[in-house]
Amino acid sequence: MKKHVAFTLRFNEDLYERTKTACLREGRSMTAFVQDAVARTLAKQDAAALFQAFTLVGEDLNEANVEYAHEAQREVTLEGE
């Protein structure tokens, strides 16, 4: 079972109202909405970091490990499925 951590978030009033409206429109809780937004942001950051790492590897073809890069790329591609 995954352990959950409770903490307080502070929103300005406009952002809070917009988020609350979006949650009502989607029939989701504020917690689920924020968790999803954070997860998507982290996934984008991970993908950008991986892209940057592949870019750096590609700059030195003598040290490039094509099989490793292919496997890592496959994992990222299949992660969303």
41, part of any domain: yes
1, part of any domain: no
5, part of any domain: no
The whole-number pLDDT of residue 1 equals: 72
65, part of any domain: yes
Average pLDDT rounded to a whole number, residues 42-65: 73
**In the structure, what pLDDT confidence band is assigned to residue 59 with cuts at 50, 70 and 90?**
low
Query: What total of structural domains would you count in the chain?
Result: 1
37, part of any domain: yes
pLDDT digits (tens, 9 = 90+) for 6-25: 999 999 999 999 999 999 99
> For residue 19, what are the domain limits?
13-79
Q: How far is CA 9 from CA 18, 19, 30, 35, 57, in A?
A: 15, 13, 11, 12, 39
Average pLDDT rounded to a whole number, residues 54-76: 66
Q: What angle do CA 64, 67, 73 make, to 5 degrees?
A: 95
Kindly write down the DSSP assignment for every residue of the chain, as one continuous string.
Answer: -PPP--------HHHHHHHHHHHHHHT--HHHHHHHHHHHHHHHHHHHHHHHHHHHHHH-TTT--HHHHHHHHHHHHHHT-
Reading the block at residue 31, the tokens are 């917690």
6, part of any domain: no
- Is the pLDDT assigned to residue 71 strictly greater than 90? no
Q: Whole-model pTM above 0.85?
A: no
52, part of any domain: yes
